[in-house]
Structure 1
Amino acid sequence: MKLRYAMVCSSNQNRSMESHFLLKKEGFDVASYGTGQHVKLPGPSIREPNVYDFGTPYKHMFDDLRRKDLDLYKRNGILTMLKRNLGVKTAPQRWQDNAGDGTFDVVLTFEEKVFDMVLEDLHTRDHVLLKPVLIINLEVKDNHEEAAIGGRVALLLCQAIEAADSWEERIDDIICSFEKHHRRKLTYSISFY
């Protein structure tokens, strides 16, 4: 079965893009999104993040941060992350604005508040197709190391879903088996397009 996947995180594009990168490399039909008002990347202090509009090319962000403080953004891994993102797609996209991107079979989020936002967004849309969409939350801490681990775990989860004849009939078994094997609690729900 060939399913279409969406990876969704808050606003910094690390966890969703790591998963997008790995799934794309494995041949999955995948997209990634953020849910915040802007893309926020760490700055020189917690009170001074670098803020960009969704749609700002990753190349622009990369060049901007390199110009601001090459050593800092090399050291904290942001330039490496942006380089990875550049290899995946041109610019970050916002989930709430993705209506023109079609539908997804599976939406994977990486924190509970994003899971809730995606569910709320899907519930407020017109359900004209009555096509089911599975939304799963896999908690992943927002740092480079955890994003790398979470990306691999997300890939394994998507491979398990992809291997099922029908995720709609097997999802409870898939989730239960996955939780036991990987010792990670998943939250999931079904909505419709």
Structure 2
Amino acid sequence: MKYRYAMVCSSNQNRSMEAHSILKSKGFNVSSYGTGAHVKLPGPSLREPNVYDFGTPYKHMFDDLRRKDPELYKRNGILPMLKRNAAVKTAPQRWQDNAADGSFDVVFTFEEKVFDMVIEDLNTRDHALMKTVLIVNLEVKDNHEEAAIGARLTFDLCQEIERTESWEDSIDDIVITFEKQLRRKLLYSISFY
């Protein structure tokens, strides 16, 4: 694979990690991040989420929730999600703290507010490399079924990007074709490292 990809979502590690898992299994050079202040996972009610610091190992979260209420977190899909995440990487990472570890060619986000945050973050960085980066938003509802669909669509888009000589020359055609075939709108922008 010739490009380096980042998957970025808000704070619950579902959509970005599902895409990360699929792309990694297909041999892509991929990383994943959240943009929130903490990792927030559903709790027993909307007002009682489970909150963890970025860097907390997925295994720790899994063990903590299994201890609290194994039936609830198995039924709502959080325990299987954490098991999947732990198989992909050790712990969640925050975009703002870790994305400077290397430059990406393409960054995928899964909700417009995260797309805006990534663009803002990239625009406020020192552009020492003057290397272009493509930011694409594929709007995906935050549930397990939609995350799986979004990950497959992301994989399809990454394959199209990989087939190009240069994404800079082909991205408009890729987006137009994707939107016509799947009737899903994409947002995209270009920034720099």
Normalising by the residue count of structure 2, what TM-score does the alignment of the two structures yield? 0.99
> Structure 2 unaligned runs (5+)?
none
Shift of 1:75: 0.4
Alignment-derived partner of residue 130 in structure 2? 130
Runs of 4+ that moved beyond 6 A: none
Shift of 1:183: 1.2
d(CA) in 1 for partners of 2:174, 2:183? 13
d(CA) in 2 for partners of 1:101, 1:28? 18
> Structure 1 unaligned runs (5+)?
none
d(CA) in 1 for partners of 2:123, 2:100? 17
d(CA) in 2 for partners of 1:6, 1:76? 27
Alignment-derived partner of residue 91 in structure 2? 91
Asked whether 1:41 is paired with 2:60, we answer no
Question: What letter is aligned with 1:155?
Answer: F
Bigger mean CA offset, 69-78 vs 176-185: 176-185
Alignment-derived partner of residue 2 in structure 2? 2
d(CA) in 2 for partners of 1:23, 1:91? 18
Alignment-derived partner of residue 21 in structure 1? 21
Identity %: 79
* SS of corresponding position for 2:40: strand
Question: What letter is aligned with 1:6?
Answer: A
Residues 41-71 of structure 1 show CA distances to partners (whole Å, capped at 9, x for unaligned) of 0000000000000000000000000000000
Q: CA RMSD in A?
A: 0.7
Shift of 1:100: 4.1
Asked whether 1:106 is paired with 2:106, we answer yes
* SS of corresponding position for 1:107: strand
Alignment-derived partner of residue 172 in structure 1? 172
Count of paired positions: 193
d(CA) in 1 for partners of 2:3, 2:183? 25
d(CA) in 2 for partners of 1:102, 1:137? 20
Shift of 1:143: 0.4
* Residue correspondence of structure 1 range 41-80 to structure 2 within 5 A: 41-80=41-80
Normalising by the residue count of structure 1, what TM-score does the alignment of the two structures yield? 0.99
Question: What letter is aligned with 2:134?
Answer: L
Alignment-derived partner of residue 192 in structure 2? 192
Shift of 1:181: 1.2
d(CA) in 2 for partners of 1:99, 1:34? 10
Asked whether 1:153 is paired with 2:153, we answer yes
Bigger mean CA offset, 10-19 vs 170-179: 170-179
